[in-house]
Amino acid sequence: MTRRGPVVVVGDTLLDRDVDGVVERLCPDAPVPVLDEQAETERPGGAGLAALLAAGQGREVVLVTALAGDAGGARLSRLLAGVEVHALALTGPTPEKIRLRAGGRTLLRLDRGGAGGRCGEPARPALAALRDAAVILVSDYGRGVARQPALRAALAATAAPVVWDPHPRGPVPIRNTRLATPNEAEVRHLAGYAGRDPLATAHRGGEVLRQRWRAAAVAVTMGERGALLCHAGPTPLVAPAPRRADGDTCGAGDAFAVTAALAIADGAPVTEAVPEAVTRATAYVAAGGARAALAGAPDPAGAAWSAGEPADAGGVPAAAGLVARVRARGGRVVATGGCFDLLHAGHVATLQAARRLGDCLVVCLNSDASVARLKGPSRPVNHQDDRRRVLAALECVDAVVVFDEPTPYAVLSWLRPDVWVKGADYADRGLPEAELLRRWEGQAVLVPYLAGRSTTALVAARNGDRGKR
């Protein structure tokens, strides 16, 4: 059942800082690298990041957190623009998490402040937000907000579903939590069990925690292996990651928990919310993690972690991250497009030939509305999410992006492929995209097409068979 109201995030907000630079020498007085700083970025971490990710999906978001009255707290207040914040007073300094990075890799993490800080009492509007929420996500980073007695009492009394992202130093989730989302390391620590097989360990440890916490379900996140869901059924559900994502994993757990919470708010059962959360967290990592998600690039719509893209095949974030990585190593980007309504041998032949022309293949897929305008109201036969999932499962396809226009000009304008490919059945029609590609010295080409294969013919044959019956 879908509830109306805001998405409420409760938990500790940290100030995350990334110091990026280059390492070209070792320190003369110790065998450690010397980082020459080139850039520094700041963003909210913890519950603050979760709130911004939820707001980035167009949701009304309320953040109940603790902020200190220092310069760090003031910076967090500015960085949380667009989110309604109900701040408890935090004694002591703002907790900071500082990463020193070179070449996209973290060399060292420095945690500063926050030790021994105490949270004040929540005001009435914060408690009212918990009462009226569509869903509540507790993003616990072990700093004390989730322990606040008045907040815990309000969480226990609310009718809203609660998703709890726990921390080893934090309190246990409230009873009847709809979904708890510990990672593997947290499960081993909290459940006190570590077997040889990762799946067996996640299952046994997750089930221990589910019973101990009296939670409806526990989803154990396992990084690139996806997640394992322990719920009321006798057999756990494993949601594998749709593909390997090489990128910054900072905040991936927050992306997972946010997606699961929003799906539950929309009425999805946990067996559907967890697979969706896995695929969106994978896309989040592939797109560049927290910095890309909050920076607004390279997604042409202005959000690197595109909430509008169904998670099955990665969408814009996966395509953007893929293209950036291929170009960084001097590779060639190939793209093709079409409806791909009933996938057949002709489609596969075109896609395989296109992939051989470069180092990655991005498929631009007509949306359902676009197909209907082109083919008539009886098409497409298959929904765009299903068509995208089938395409993404092909070994020759690296990313899929859906577009709603008659032609994929907008997608191609930001994708800027080196090669645009269509089947040779377009030989007599010409390629309208060819002129666009010439703007960046791209090349439009045709590849051999298997004659006699078309979705239109397949649909006609099916309808003819029905008429005979």
User: Which residues are catalytic, by number?
Assistant: 254
- DSSP 8-state assignment for residue 2: P
Task: For residues 159 and 187, give the distance between their C-alpha atoms in angstroms, rounded to a whole number.
Answer: 27
Task: For residues 15 and 94, give the distance between their C-alpha atoms in angstroms, rounded to a whole number.
Answer: 7
Going from the C-alpha of 228 to that of each of 135, 212, 305, the distances in angstroms are 22, 18, 24
Residue for token pair 């960046």: 440
Based on its alpha-carbon atoms, the radius of gyration of the chain, rounded to whole angstroms, reads 25
| 243 Cβ contact list (under 8 Å, min separation 6) | 282, 286, 314, 318, 392
Task: For residues 451 and 425, give the distance between their C-alpha atoms in angstroms, rounded to a whole number.
Answer: 8
- DSSP 8-state assignment for residue 426: G
For the chain, the distance separating the N- and C-terminal CA atoms, rounded to the nearest angstrom, is: 42
CB 321 within 8 A of CB 291: no
Q: What is the sign, positive or negative, of the torsion defined by CA atoms of 245, 248, 254, 259?
A: negative
CB 49 within 8 A of CB 254: yes
Task: For residues 246 and 184, give the distance between their C-alpha atoms in angstroms, rounded to a whole number.
Answer: 19
